[in-house]
Amino acid sequence: MRLAIFGASGRTGQPLVEKAIAAGHQVTALVRNPAKLTVTDPQITVITGDALDPQAVEQTIADADAVISVVGQSKGAPADLQTRITKNIVAAMDRHHVKRLISLTGAGVAAPQDRPKLINHIIKLALKLFSGQVLHDAEQHAAVIQQSDLDWVIVRGPVLTSDPPKGSYRVGWVGVNTASRITRADLAEFLLHAVSDSRYLRQMPMVSN
């Protein structure tokens, strides 16, 4: 499968690219600084550019079968970074008739199946107080995807770690069959699985160890 990956040079993007290549996929990655993408392989096509640039996004998606975005907020970035990038991705996918989109976001974005416990409410309040712009951007990015005609899965993660992979993960909802952490490698495994699995189509599962 030909995958367009956004956020490929980040801490979650790198293990995602590694696992995609290991699974036999062809990857097109849009990165601002190719030197940060340490994974090298003939199956990777690297495009240098900014995901805020609609033309760069369109070039990345043009020949793709599916798109995975692990783009998140970063220091000094626009407050609506994830939302603006997602709008570019959705528009390009529509133009090139690419249907499957997998997008990563945080557990603070609510889903109808959630059954939050007291600790979840406390965490959500802390997010609003200390990272309100980040949470708002994540929620708006999800709204853009939900309003599209794409076959999407919005994957929500708790605290992400760079620990060695556990080799397994749980899929649930906030307050339902989930824990507080997941390794980036295990999360990448689920993101790739979601590309071809329709079990969570148009849903927002939470994945944890």
The pLDDT value given to residue 75:
75
Q: Number of folded domains in the chain?
A: 1
| Domain span at 167 | 2-208
pLDDT digits (tens, 9 = 90+) for 124-165: 888 777 777 889 999 999 999 999 999 999 999 999 999 999
How would residue 203 be classed by pLDDT, with cut points 50, 70 and 90? very high
Q: What is the mean pLDDT of the chain?
A: 95
pLDDT, one tens digit per residue, over 40-80 is 999 999 999 999 999 999 999 999 999 999 998 777 788 89
Return the C-alpha torsion angle 190, 192, 196, 201, nearest 10: 50
pLDDT attached to residue 72: 84
Cβ contact 100:65 at 8 Å: yes
Alpha-carbon gap, residue 4 to 44, rounded angstroms: 10
Per-residue pLDDT of 71-115, as tens digits, reads: 987 777 888 999 999 999 999 999 999 999 999 999 999 999 999
Gap between the Cα atoms of 47 and 45, Å rounded: 7
CATH number at 29 reads 3.40.50.720
> Which stretch of DSSP H or E encloses residue 154?
strand 151-157
pLDDT value, residue 47: 97
What per-residue confidence (pLDDT) applies to 121?
81
pLDDT of residue 73: 76
Q: What is the pLDDT of residue 21?
A: 97
Give the pLDDT band (50/70/90) at residue 206. Answer: very high
What was the pLDDT predicted at 4?
98
**Which whole number is the average pLDDT over 4-25?**
97
In terms of pLDDT, which residue wins out, 160 or 120? 160
Q: State mean pLDDT over 160-182.
A: 96
The per-residue pLDDT for 120 is: 83
Instruction: Show the tokens assigned to 108.
Output: 């603070």
Per-residue model confidence as pLDDT tens digits over 182-192? 999 999 999 99
pLDDT attached to residue 77: 81
Task: Judge contact between 115 and 173, C-beta under 8 A.
Answer: yes
